[in-house]
Structure 1
Amino acid sequence: MYISGLFKTLLLIAVTLSTFLFAQLAAAQELTATVDRNELAVNETFTLTLRYSGAQSGGQPDFDLLEQDFEVLSRQQSNQYRVFNGRAESFVEWTVILAPLKEGKLFVPSLHLHGQVSDAIPITVNQAGQSPSGNNRQAFLEVELDKDKLYVQEQLLVKVRLYTTVGLHDIAADPLQIPDAHIEKVDEQRYEQQINGVGHAVYELTYAVFPESSGELQIPPLNYIAVTGRRDPFSLFNRNAQRIRLRSEAKSVQVEPKPDSYSGTHWLPAASLGLVQSWSKDPEEFKVGEPITRIITLRAEGLRAAQLPPLPKLNVEGLKTYPDQPQQEDSPGTNGIIGSRIETTAIVATKPGDYQLPPITITWWDSKTGQQRATQLPAFRFKVKGAPIIESTTPGTSSPPLHTTPIVTEVEPGFWQKIALIAIASHLLWIIYFFYTKQNKSAEPLRETRRNSSIQAESQKLIEAAKSGEPQEIQVALRHWIALRWPALRHQSPDCAVQQLGISDLSQAFDILNDAIYKVPPKPMNRQQLQILIHRLTRIEQESSPKHGALPGLFSG
């Protein structure tokens, strides 16, 4: 009986101790989840802290469960050991930065580790800027459209501004992408702005959007990811830095089709449109057979160069035209894109007289006033001096005889007489050929020497002009040098000569001069680069020739 009672007592003690130990173990092994806030805007982030206390080590929860409703921006793990009120404890902690993917009532799901389960946490996600902390946000995005209605293919400016009161670095942004629309980034600025008495640093991007179809145009939300805090170049781990995600509001704008009242040949919705004409030299000095270059520039604010139409071809009796390949150029800026189309035409008059170039009219749609307008380049009158160019006689025709050949009765020579005549004729031919060849050989070195001397003198003039001359003077000197070096190109326009020769240094030199003379506004001339190009050109071997073989005649049909 005594042994039985003792056994029962020991069994009771063992059960009590086991229950206590299991309770202590269960209390020691725990997985808890907390968040820094339960309500936020869709363009803001929050921090999830997950802590595991237990004897088992290794492993981690399945964080992929979070990606159903949230974007995981960053995740850090730390192992900690501390003594609190004389009691030692150790735990593993994960800090996760999350950004909601949508609005509404969401849940941070329960996570599992070593048999432990964390509680699910409700999260309320509001629209952008509507959270209780909306007025005190450290960083936020703003999207602004320059108009709430536009026409198809008209320019829409989309400005995206990032405001911040804390230091941000490593900023990564989604590119603006809109189906069925052409998009170009045209401007980027950084400045400061006061909001409710608080200074904000502003990073602004401007996009030009050209919708290709009518209907509602959707501007999707844009995501920005950045790191807060100062970047410490002496620290491998910026523990105080935090990765955040910002999300802008979606926008929409109505795109109208081309108005039925528009009567223009080409649909050109622009803020402004202009035509400018310039000449390579004074048209008052126009002479027969001498080429003159006409440059017409079509510029439109709010249109890309690819949208601008070709100008009508010039067809005037007595004038031969040699158009070059049109040049297209887009100039981005704070007000969007200014597109330019430059058409250059070499004109050669074949006879003197008074000429008139017809006016050029471009119909376009004024996007500021909502009205159809027309821009016109007036008709241009000029005189051509000189003698007319006489076309050569058509091959195969002959002039009528001036007199009738008298009939003479010939006496048939004998055999030896024929042999003697042939011998004398052959001898005379050899004598003539000998003196002709000798004369040409003696004159050829003299002609070549004179030509080389002229080329050297013209090259020196060109070099001197490049050092201190005006762009127009340098261009004239360069044309004279080309005409002397390659006589076959004497009557060709500069653009045709460049194309025929295929010399890259020559093409670059003319580009620099054309930008300084004809561009509006003129582009400053890089004199040092131009001097280097001309120095190279004057060192070209004398045997250089046009790459396309024989040049076509200037007046060939």
Structure 2
Amino acid sequence: MRKFSRIFSALLLLALSCLANAQDLTASVDRNELAINETFTLTLRYSGPQSGGQPDFNLLEQDFEVLSRQQSNQYRVINGHAESYVEWTLVLAPLKEGKVFLPSLHLHGQVSDAIPITVNKAGESPSGNSQQAFLEVELDKEKLYVQEQLLVKVRLYTTVGLHDIATDPLQIAGAHVEKVDEQRYERRINGVGHAVYELTYAVFPESSGELQIPALNYVAVTGRRDPFSLFNRNAQRIRLRSEAKTIQVDPKPDSYTGSHWLPAASLGLVQSWSKDPEEFKVGEPITRIITMRAEGLRAAQLPPLPKLNIEALKTYPDQPQQEDQSGANGITGSRIETTAIVATQPGSYQLPAITITWWDSKTGRQRATQLPAFRFKVSGGALPQAAQQTRPSNEISPDMQPTINKDHFWRNLAIAALASHLFWLVYFIQQRRNRIQPENKNNTKDLNLRALTRELSIAIDSGDARLLNKTLDKWLNTRYAGGTPETEEFTKLRELVSEALYKQPSRPLNIGQIRVLVKRIIDREIQNEQATSKTLLPDLFA
């Protein structure tokens, strides 16, 4: 009996000892030192008689971002000894550099130990060169002037499969920021192939001084996405952090003498007319189109052009059109000013030259772009004297009523032509799109005839025969589904472009005649499709 009592006491003490050891909450990490753009794994294990519940993981969010969290229940027998526990595995990313502590966590009266973590700058940890994914930030210049374009390229390199990539948009205090390009390609680094995901931002600082480019956070999931599984156990959510950058922004140089500060890579002026310059007549409205295009400037930064003030020429300016085009080289802004002109007397006229002063950001010096003075002749008889006079007084006398009516007639004619152009252009495109849609539904989204017509107009303005030929092919193939009608206008149009491209010596483009041909082509289509309507499409470029 005494022997049995001793054995029982020993077993009881052993059970109490095992119970004391079994109820425990332990925390461990896979590494204590890492870079700000890296992640580490926290493993939290609870072994005890109580079940259910979990620690308050919100305590981690003060210094760390929780990228993923998994829970598993384990039961195993080793050498006849049974063991059960609950384990949480968390992937964490540090939010700041320096010495930080992984806080103690609590569960069922048990407390885990706090763990010190050292967070270095990006790339300073021993494992910084062997990462399977990393970020690179590149600026296209070392310093710049205020309001000048800065290109910021952020590249994500990876040697493993990544999906569900998400990033915060780039936001910079005191600067205008636009994402202008996105590319995916491959690059070999030290003989190892990397998939590259590149974003390009155009940044325009609004004041001088130091410009801070903040660090960007990328979050992605590693591993191949399995569409047949609700749980991708091998996938891991990672977070990458780019390196912050600083660049010096200088004020406008004191040597600059222009009336508007325009730091650009290039700036050009192009003039075109709605009619051939040889066909100007008294009383008939003609339309002058001037396009200012600047590489590295937004359209909102381009200044208005000087107004015309010439005796015997009445002018009716339209609202300017502003357009930004984005690409790998940033933003190219365009400002298009359209003015209807009515001559009241025959004779020879000269429109003054237009000079725009700007700062060449490539060479670092002031430059000037000039649209030369333009001479033209107006034929026909002079309008009656009453139609050329205006009365400054607010009173309208009976003998002035015909003058006001005639003056308003030409003004209203020009304004109506300009306003109705957009309406009929949109209507025509919509009708054309509705007719093509049943034939080829797959290409409906790609048909943007209004944008193509605008591209064609810009190509004609540029005077570049190669650009015009390329844009014309795209416009014709889209509008006529790959086929071109054999008409006099189309034949002449091709002939003019071919002469400028291939004839020796080459002939310059006849921009006025090309515009007339394009207008006739569209007018004929409108007449064919709207045979019952008596309203014709106004000038395409008016």
Task: Verify same fold: TM over 0.5.
Answer: yes
How large is the Cα RMSD of the aligned pairs? 2.9
Q: Unmatched 5+ residue regions in structure 1?
A: 1-5, 398-487, 546-557
How far apart in 1 are the matches of 2:25 and 2:76? 18
Q: Deviations over 1:349-377 (max 9, x none)?
A: 11111111000010111111221111111
Partner SS, residue 417 of structure 2? helix
Question: Is residue 120 of structure 2 the alignment partner of residue 126 of structure 1?
Answer: yes
Give the corresponding residue for 1:104: 98
The residue matched to 2:44 in structure 1 has which SS? strand
Aligned to 1:257: 251
Matched, 1:326 2:325: no
Q: Distance in 2 between matches of 1:138 and 1:345?
A: 59
Q: Residue 517 and residue 66 in structure 1: after superposition, are their counterparts in 2 closer, same or farther (change >3 A)?
A: closer
The farther-off stretch of 498-507 and 361-370 is: 498-507
TM-score (structure 1 length as normaliser)? 0.74
Structure 1 residues 265 and 63: CA distance shift in structure 2, 3 A? same
User: Secondary structure of the residue that 1:284 maps to in structure 2?
Assistant: helix
Identity over aligned pairs, percent: 73
Aligned partners of 1:506 and 1:117: how far apart in 2?
70
- For structure 1, which segment, 160-169 or 57-66, has the greater mean C-alpha deviation from structure 2 after superposition? 57-66
Asked if the contact 2:316–2:411 (Cα under 8 Å) also holds between the matched residues in 1, the reply is no
Amino acid paired to 1:318: A
C-alpha distance 502-201 of structure 1, shift in aligned 2 (>3 A): closer
> CA, structure 1 residues 505+375, in 2 after alignment: closer, same or farther (shift >3 Å)?
closer
- 1:492 match: secondary structure: helix
Q: Where does residue 479 of structure 2 map in the other structure?
A: 527
Residue 70 (structure 1) aligned with residue 64 (structure 2)? yes
Tell me if the contact between 2:318 and 2:418 (Cα under 8 Å) persists in the aligned partners. no
Instruction: Say whether 1:166 aligns with 2:160.
Output: yes
Deviation of the 1:18 alpha carbon = 3.9
**Which residue pairs with 1:516 in the alignment?**
456
Deviation at 1:253, TM superposition (A): 0.7
- Secondary structure class of the residue paired with 1:153: coil
Which letter maps to 2:413? Answer: Q
Cα 1:174–1:280 change in 2 (3 A) is same
Q: Match of 1:201, as an amino acid?
A: A
Cα distance in 1 between the residues matched to 2:249 and 2:106: 51
Aligned residue pair count: 448
> Which deviations, in whole Å up to 9, do the C-alpha atoms of 1:459-491 show, x marking residues without a partner?
xxxxxxxxxxxxxxxxxxxxxxxxxxxxx8999
Deviation at 1:43, TM superposition (A): 0.2
Structure 1 segment 23-102 matched on structure 2, within 5 A = 23-102=17-96
Once residues 396 and 109 of structure 1 are traced to their aligned partners in structure 2, the CA distance between those partners, rounded to angstroms, is 92
1:213 and 1:170 mapped to 2: Cα distance? 37
Alignment match of 2:357 (pick from 357, 363, 371)? 363
Alpha carbons 1:506, 1:537 under 8 Å: kept? no
User: How far apart in 2 are the matches of 1:292 and 1:531?
Assistant: 18
SS at the partner of 2:14? helix
1:424-471: CA deviation from partner (whole Å, max 9, x where unpaired): xxxxxxxxxxxxxxxxxxxxxxxxxxxxxxxxxxxxxxxxxxxxxxxx
Give the SS at the match of 2:87. Answer: strand
1:538 aligns with 2:515: no
Look up the SS of the partner of 1:133 in the other structure.
helix
Q: Is the 1:352–1:386 contact (alpha carbons within 8 Å) kept by the matching residues of 2?
A: yes
**CA drift at 1:387:** 1.3
Question: Is residue 491 of structure 2 the alignment partner of residue 499 of structure 1?
Answer: no
Where does residue 446 of structure 1 map in the other structure?
A: none
Q: 1:290·1:491 contact (CA, 8 Å) conserved in 2?
A: no
Q: Indicate how the Cα distance of structure 1 residues 245 and 533 shifts in structure 2: closer, same or farther if over 3 A, else same.
A: farther
Q: 1:396 to 1:215 in 2, by over 3 A?
A: closer
Q: What is residue 387 of structure 1 aligned with on the other side? A: 381
Deviations, residues 239-283 of structure 1 (Å, cap 9, x unaligned): 000000000111111111112221111111111111111112220
> How big is the shift at 1:325?
1.2
Shift of 1:116: 2.3
Query: Residue by residue, what CA displacement relative to the aligned partner does 1:500-528 show, whole Å, maximum 9, x if unpaired?
Result: 69845567669665643454455543425
Specify the alignment match of 1:310 in structure 2: 304
Counterpart of 2:222 (choices 225, 228, 250) is: 228
The answer on 1:246 being equivalent to 2:166 is no
What is the DSSP-based 3-state SS (H/G/I as helix, E as strand, rest coil) of the residue aligned with 2:305?
A: coil
Structure 1, 170-179 or 368-377: larger mean CA deviation: 368-377
State the Cα distance separating 1:50 from its structure 2 match: 1.1
Q: In the aligned structure 2, how far is the partner of 1:55 from the partner of 1:396? A: 107
Q: 8 Å contact 1:305–1:328 — kept in the other structure?
A: yes
2:169 alignment counterpart: 175
Matched, 1:342 2:342: no
Cα deviation for residue 233 of structure 1 reads: 0.7
Alignment-mate amino acid for residue 137 of structure 1? Q
Distance 2:239 2:107 in 1: 28
Query: In 1, are the aligned partners of 2:285 and 2:410 still within 8 Å (CA)?
Result: no
1:406 corresponding residue in structure 2 = none
Shift of residue 54, structure 1, vs aligned partner? 1.7
The separation in 1 between residues aligned to 2:345 and 2:234, in whole angstroms, is 83
Provide the rounded CA distance (Å) in 2 between the counterparts of 1:359 and 1:161: 46
Amino acid corresponding to residue 315 of structure 2 in structure 1: T
**C-alpha deviations, 1:367-417, integer Å up to 9, x for none?**
1122111111111111111111123499767xxxxxxxxxxxxxxxxxxxx
SS of equivalent residue, structure 2 residue 17: helix
Give distance in 2, aligned partners of 1:506 and 1:72.
51
The CA deviation at 1:541 is: 5.9
Name 1:196's counterpart in structure 2.
190
Deviation (angstroms), 1:123: 1.9
Distance in 2 between the 1:36 and 1:314 partners?
A: 75
Residue segments in structure 2 that go unaligned for 5+ positions in a row: 390-396, 400-408, 430-448, 482-521, 537-542
The alpha-carbon deviation at position 324 of structure 1 amounts to 1.3
CA distance in structure 1 between the aligned counterparts of 2:381 and 2:321, rounded to whole angstroms: 35
